[in-house]
């Protein structure tokens, strides 16, 4: 069993620390307890200016299976090298913290606009839950226009930065899908967790070799968040406790 | 290893007689007759209702038609739950046929996932199988399969081919004999009495002392109210595939034989009939 596995207790510990740090940074993360159980989730809402391809009707023809619906939209429009503030994707552990921008304000973060799109203010709601099946955190989110209409999967895709989109389109269902929120029972989008462990293992191992404690949830969010417009300011890394009570080695899974 | 093939067949070929009626607010050019269908318990509503859609589209104008969705007595039906789970959860102990209302407008965005095509159902189905195998075998079996093997599981379900599906699914049901079962049992306990849609946690098929956990052991830990006390009238029923299994049934056996094709054991806890 890999020591880098995050158990449920480790998850809530990471979340508690993140919320503490968020309070001093005032960037809006809170812990929401689940109904009648010990489980809960991290929550944050934010306004974001985004240019997206508006498509209010999913099925204007009513014929049901509109074939383009299950591929990501806009794959034709090639991303011109963009001016995005989002960090470049990298599986290299060394780049993971370095790639973070200077804590860019979300409001400065703008989706690449396809020609026919319009710039809108959107409300994004992010939830971080623990998946006991994969022993990893999972990012759920949903997005609304200011009129309260929820964005479709296509519209959410059109807000993914182009440099990520090209890569994710190889296998769109492994990345962003619509699924039921396991605690609320409502439709949310999520970034699929089945690759998270693979992504995080080198980071956690590198940290352990350097006898350095890393907040799993913060580090993971800083990698996965930018895909869907969520930035983790670099200050989270700076605020990390140097000698925390919880060490990486303690993150052993407790077998239920 | 699954060796009780009759049980697997009975589960696979379970059907629910259903009557589909168009919602009264839908605009039609002439009267819409109800449509009757035998629904496979182990499949998904949006996968087996092409005929229903065609039937109602005949009396509707294209501009009045948006994404089709289903409702039972005011509750939108989640297509991503297996049909049998929806029936057991919402319509157990009611008269057959099951009466489902069909809608083509006012899609309930806050309740239902969109299902624009069968590939969305396939993705959902495969993601459940993957999650189940993460629990059972740390994903080793599903990752060792090839893409065409994954496809075989899906095609087996989509085309209702029991043998095709089980030729591959049996691999997902294997475990080392010395361990007496899977690493964890993939299960979900559904209830209608709470906003929380289901309970899903880690639970082993064998106790630390080495004896087999039963359905009762699982409920005792996850949902103690579902187990009646000796002198108490039974208030809740524990239903899997329309039956109430004995609480002392070994959980590993249930997982191998009464799981849905998505490899999860779906358990419904519903109010007992009061008659």
Tell me the chain A residues in contact with residue B80 when contact means C-beta distances shorter than 8 Å: 179-180
Query: pLDDT averaged over chain B?
Result: 94
Task: Pinpoint the residues of chain B covered by CATH 3.10.20.90.
Answer: 179-275
* pLDDT exceeds 60 at position A12: yes
Q: CB–CB of A187 and B110 under 8 A?
A: yes
Q: Does B202 touch chain A (CB under 8 A)?
A: yes
Among B110-124, B150-164, B219-233, the minimum mean pLDDT is found in B219-233
Q: What is the pLDDT of residue B209?
A: 94
Residue A245 or residue B67, greater confidence: B67
Tell me the chain A residues in contact with residue B107 when contact means C-beta distances shorter than 8 Å: 58
Q: Does B197 touch chain A (CB under 8 A)?
A: yes
* Closest CA–CA distance from residue A53 to any residue of chain B (Å): 18
CATH number of B117-174: 1.10.246.190
**Each residue's pLDDT tens digit, A162-203:** 777 766 665 444 578 899 999 999 999 998 887 788 888 888
CA–CA separation, B13 vs A118, rounded Å?
50
Q: What is the pLDDT of residue A170?
A: 59
CA–CA separation, A250 vs A4, rounded Å?
9
CA–CA separation, A104 vs A108, rounded Å?
7
Report the pLDDT averaged over residues B172-197.
93
Q: What is the pLDDT of residue A167?
A: 64
- Per-residue confidence band for A36, with pLDDT thresholds at 50, 70 and 90: low
Comparing CB atoms, the residue among A152, A153, A185 nearest residue B196 is A185
Please return the burial class of A209, using the count of CB atoms within 10 Å of its CB with bins 0-12, 13-18 and 19+: exposed
Catalytic residue, chosen from A14, A111, A159, A194, is: A194
Task: Pinpoint the residues of chain B covered by CATH 3.10.20.620.
Answer: 13-103
Report the pLDDT averaged over residues B248-262.
98
CATH number 3.40.50.150 given to B13-103:
no
Give chain A's largest Cα–Cα span: 60
Is the reported ipTM for this assembly greater than 0.90?
yes
**HSE, side-chain direction, 13 A CA sphere, residue A29:** 24
* pLDDT exceeds 80 at position B58: yes
Tell me if residue A111 is catalytic.
Answer: no
Comparing CB atoms, the residue among B57, B63, B117 nearest residue A65 is B117
* pLDDT exceeds 70 at position A18: yes
Report the pLDDT averaged over residues A42-63.
64
- Per-residue confidence band for A247, with pLDDT thresholds at 50, 70 and 90: very low
Comparing alpha-carbon positions, the chain B residue that sits nearest to A60 is B66
Q: What is the pLDDT of residue A137?
A: 94
* pLDDT exceeds 60 at position A100: no
Q: What is the pLDDT of residue A60?
A: 37
| Residues B50, B99, B243, B2, Cα dihedral to 10° | 0
Q: What is the pLDDT of residue A255?
A: 42
Residues B252/B206, Cβ–Cβ less than 8 Å: yes
Task: Pinpoint the residues of chain B covered by CATH 1.10.246.190.
Answer: 117-174
Q: What is the pLDDT of residue B44?
A: 98
* pLDDT exceeds 80 at position A72: no
CATH architecture of B179-275: Roll (3.10)
CA–CA separation, A239 vs B6, rounded Å?
61
Q: What is the pLDDT of residue A158?
A: 82
Distant-in-sequence, close-in-space partners of A152: CB < 8 Å, separation ≥ 6 = A55, A58, B114
Q: What is the pLDDT of residue A184?
A: 93
**Each residue's pLDDT tens digit, B61-97:** 989 999 999 999 999 999 999 999 999 999 999 999 9
């Amino acid at each position: 069993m890999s020591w880098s596995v995050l158990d449920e207790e480790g998850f809530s510990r990471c979340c508690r620390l993140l919320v503490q740090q968020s309070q001093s940074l005032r960037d809006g993360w809170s812990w929401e307890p689940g109904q009648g159980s010990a489980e809960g989730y991290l929550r944050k809402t934010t306004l974001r200016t985004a240019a997206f391809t508006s498509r209010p009707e999913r099925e204007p023809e009513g014929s049901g299976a509109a074939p383009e619906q299950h591929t990501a939209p806009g794959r034709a429009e090639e991303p011109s090298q963009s001016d995005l503030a989002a960090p470049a994707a990298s599986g290299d552990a060394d780049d993971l913290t370095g790639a973070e921008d200077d804590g860019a304000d979300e409001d400065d973060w703008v989706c690449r606009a396809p020609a026919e799109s319009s710039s809108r203010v959107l409300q994004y709601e992010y939830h971080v839950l623990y998946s006991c099946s994969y022993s990893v955190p999972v990012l759920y989110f949903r997005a609304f226009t200011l009129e309260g209409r929820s964005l479709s999967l296509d519209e959410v895709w059109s807000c993914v930065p182009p440099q990520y989109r090209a890569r994710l389109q190889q296998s769109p269902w492994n990345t962003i899908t619509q699924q039921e929120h396991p605690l609320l029972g409502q439709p949310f989008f999520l970034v699929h967790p089945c690759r998270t462990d693979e992504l995080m293992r080198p980071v956690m191992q590198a940290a352990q070799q350097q006898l350095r404690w890393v907040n799993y949830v913060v580090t993971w969010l800083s990698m996965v968040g930018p895909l869907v417009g969520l930035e983790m300011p670099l200050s989270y890394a700076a605020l990390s406790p140097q000698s925390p009570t919880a060490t990486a080695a303690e993150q052993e899974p407790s077998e239920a | 290893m699954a060796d009780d093939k009759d049980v697997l067949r009975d589960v696979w070929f379970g059907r629910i007689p259903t009557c589909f009626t168009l919602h009264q607010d839908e605009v039609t050019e002439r009267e819409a007759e109800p449509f009757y269908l035998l629904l496979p318990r182990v499949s998904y509503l949006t996968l087996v209702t092409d005929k229903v859609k065609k039937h109602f589209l005949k009396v509707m104008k294209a501009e009045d038609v948006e994404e089709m969705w289903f409702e039972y007595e005011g509750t939108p039906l989640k297509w991503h739950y297996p049909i049998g789970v929806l029936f057991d959860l919402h319509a157990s102990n009611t008269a057959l046929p099951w009466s489902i209302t069909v809608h083509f407008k006012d899609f309930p965005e806050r309740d239902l996932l969109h299902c624009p095509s069968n590939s969305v159902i396939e993705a959902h189905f495969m993601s459940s199988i993957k999650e189940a195998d993460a629990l059972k075998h740390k994903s080793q079996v599903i990752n060792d399969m090839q893409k065409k093997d994954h496809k075989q599981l899906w095609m087996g379900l989509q085309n209702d081919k029991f043998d095709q599906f089980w030729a591959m699914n049996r691999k997902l049901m294997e475990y080392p004999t010395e361990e007496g079962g899977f690493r964890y049992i993939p299960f979900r306990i559904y209830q209608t009495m709470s906003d929380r849609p289901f309970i899903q946690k880690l639970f082993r098929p064998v106790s630390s002392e080495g004896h087999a956990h039963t359905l009762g052991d699982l409920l005792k830990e996850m949902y103690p109210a579902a187990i009646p006390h000796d002198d108490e009238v039974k208030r809740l029923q524990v239903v899997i595939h329309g039956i109430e299994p004995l609480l002392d049934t070994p959980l590993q056996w249930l997982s191998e034989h009464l799981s849905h094709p998505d490899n999860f054991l779906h358990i419904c806890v519903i109010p007992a009939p009061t008659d």
